[in-house]
Amino acid sequence: MGLSRDVYRLFESVVGPENISDNPAILRSYMYQPFGCRKGVWADISPAVVIMPSSTEEVVAIARICNRHHIVFKAMSTGWGMHNMPGVEGAVSLDLRRMNRILEIDGKNMFAVVEPYVICAQLQVEAMKKGLNCHIIGAGSNTSVLASATSVAGYGPDGLSMGYSGRNLLGVEWVLPTGEVLKLGSLSTGSGWFCGDGPGPSLRGIMRGWEGAWGGLGVFTKCAVKLYAWNGPPELEMKRVLPNYVLKEPIKYYKSSLFSFPTLEKLAEAALKLGEAEIGYFISRLSPSFVGMQMSAGPDYVNTWNTGMLQEMLKYAFLFVIFASSEREFEYQQKVLAAIIEETGGQVSPVSETQEMQEQTSTAVIKVDAVLRSCFRTTGGFNTSFGAMDTVDLALNQIRVGTELKDKYIRKGALMDDGADNSATLVFDQGHLAYTEMLIMYDHHDDESVEGAFQYLAEANQACLDKKLGPPIFQISQVGKGKHGAFGPACFNYDMWLRKIKSAFDPNNTADPTAYSPPEE
């Protein structure tokens, strides 16, 4: 369903002919979205047009046109995943790629102001030059800083020391579905970007709440995020060591270690204690297959896996990274770490101290540049199930239920055998919160595999309800309309509030609600 030429010309007059297209060749490439696709790689619904605004003013103009002509719009930043696609026919897709500037890095007050298309890797290198660092989400540094902060989840393993994206969010410039511009926090009172919660309205809860509105509440055109101290060199030089680029020189006061525990409970206990002790730079539960695939591919990986060595060594393990600012702090942290590991019966993995281990993990830990390898590379089809940013206990329950359920489908052969418990998880925000999600890999071009994968996801989602495990992150965005409705009753009817918010902020329902929530009837 295309747009009328007149409307097309209206949009064209906003962004110029170079930055708008409804050519099938262009639209088709946007419809390629394997992550979150039901089967294969193609979205069922094509956007009517793709528009690339370059400024807030242009976004506003576009939103106004959409409201006037009752056209649904949906914005994307890096556009990775089906949830970036409009879920209704005849919608406008906003590709924010041209809004890609780092507007400011305030070293003194330790924050950066970015536009939607700035990716973590970019912000990080620029921050490091000023002795600062930024939080990077688990999906990788190829993702948008702003999107994670304003619109979607936002957990990353360095969250142990740098919180999570939602927490790091300061001032925000928000183009509401109606086209009005709303500024949050200190920004609204003209006192700069430094705070998200006033002076001036916070609305943080309304804007992103627990996991974000996934583009269902308009477009966030600028935001400030908190930066953290970086004690490493201003530039990280790399050398090639297959299959990775690794640090040329080891960094001072930096040490990564791999610990394994007798039980999942012990692992969690250790993680919690470490969080509470407020030490460490990075912590991540590493599943055997995840680690294996970081290091090797193809037959190498399969052979290693078949030896059972990985599963043995990493059954209940996490990677813990200390990155201190001084010799004294470095020693202190190591002491605390050693003590906690001992209390909880942890073991230092034999590979932990090897130079290879130190090298190979360095870039992955600091730059989060190689997640793809362990998720999409082997089968192409990847998804995540369950998922919480909540208490350690909830995380554990999700893992227990998830592992059991997943194992069933692995035995059916529908999913790749990654040892079932392939959960990226652990405490963040100094141990106040724990994160988990259960990864699955399947062949999205193989009917049986797809069939199995989606049965699993359905069962997993049901289990979240039945076993009171909370709404599963990422699943909601994918299952779309009514999904919150399904979980609301089990969670204080939060879905009602979402619908009210939607109606209040988007009277014409022009911001695509598919991945968020429909307005109140």
Partner 1 sequence: MLLELRDYMSDMKRCARCSLCKWPPLAQLKSWRFSNMCPSITRYNFHTYSGGGRMALGLALTEGRLEDITDELLNIVYRCTACGACDSSCKYNSELEVLWPIYSTRAYLAGMGYFLPEHSMIIDSLRKEDNIMMKPKTDRGKWAEGLKVKDLSRGEKAEVVYHAGCLYCYDPELSIIARETVTLLQKAGVDVGIRGSQESCCGSIAFQLGFQGEFIKFAESNIDDWNAAGVSSVVTSCACGFGIMKSVYPLLGKEMKFEVLHITQYLDRLIKEGKIKLDRSIKSRVTYHDPCNLGRKSEIYIPWKGIEKKVLGQFILREPEKVIYRGWNGVYEPPRDVIRSVPGIELVEMERIKEYSWCCGAGAGVKQCLDDFALWTASERIAEAKSVGAEAIVTACPWCERNFKDAIAASGDDISVYDVVELLRQAM
45: contact with partner 1 by CB under 8 A: no
Q: Which is nearer to partner 1, 144 or 260 (CB)?
A: 144
Q: Which is nearer to partner 1, 190 or 299 (CB)?
A: 299
Q: Could you tell me which of 132, 130, 137, 50 has the C-alpha nearest to residue 85?
A: 50
User: Which residue, among 182, 183, 153, 181, has the nearest Cα to 168 in the 3D structure?
Assistant: 153
User: According to CB under 8 A, which one of 1, 17, 29, 190 is a site residue for partner 1?
Assistant: 29
* Alpha-carbon distances of 66 from 41, 90, 332, 356, 419, rounded to whole Å: 28, 11, 58, 55, 48
Q: How far is the CB of 173 from partner 1 (least distance, A)?
A: 20
The secondary element (H helix, E strand) that includes residue 199 is none
| Minimal distance, residue 242 CB to partner 1, in Å | 8
Residues 373-412 as x/- pattern, contact with partner 1 by CB under 8 A: x-xxxxxxxx---------------------------x--
Site string for partner 1, 87-116 (x = CB under 8 A): --------x-xx---x--------------
Strand 92-95 versus strand 73-76 pairing type: parallel
| Among the listed residues 214, 305, 318, 474, the single contact to partner 1 using CB under 8 A | 305
CB of 101 to partner 1, least distance (A): 8
Map the footprint of partner 1 across residues 166-195, applying CB under 8 A: none
Asked, as a colleague might, if the bond just before 243 is cis with ω within 30 of 0, I would say: yes
Residues 274-303 touching partner 1, rule: CB under 8 A, are 297-299, 302
Confirm if 512 and 73 have CB atoms less than 8 A apart. yes
Q: How far apart are CA 49 and CA 103, in angstroms?
A: 29
Q: Which of residues 123-152 bind partner 1 (CB under 8 A)?
A: 123, 125-126, 140-142
Q: Among residue numbers 434 through 463, which ones bind partner 1 (CB under 8 A)?
A: 441-443, 445-446, 449
Which residue among 11, 80, 456, 516 contacts partner 1 (CB under 8 A)? 80
Q: Which of 151/397 has CB closer to partner 1? A: 151
Q: Give the footprint of partner 1 on residues 318-347 (CB under 8 A).
A: none
Coil/strand/helix, residue 411:
helix
Which token pair is 226?
A: 């908190």
Distance CA 385, CA 434 (A): 16
Using alpha carbons, select from 375, 448, 377, 455 the residue that is nearest to residue 413: 448
Number of shown-chain residues binding partner 1 (CB under 8 A): 78
Angle between helices 264-276 and 327-343 in degrees, nearest 10? 150
Nearer to partner 1, 81 or 431 (CB): 81
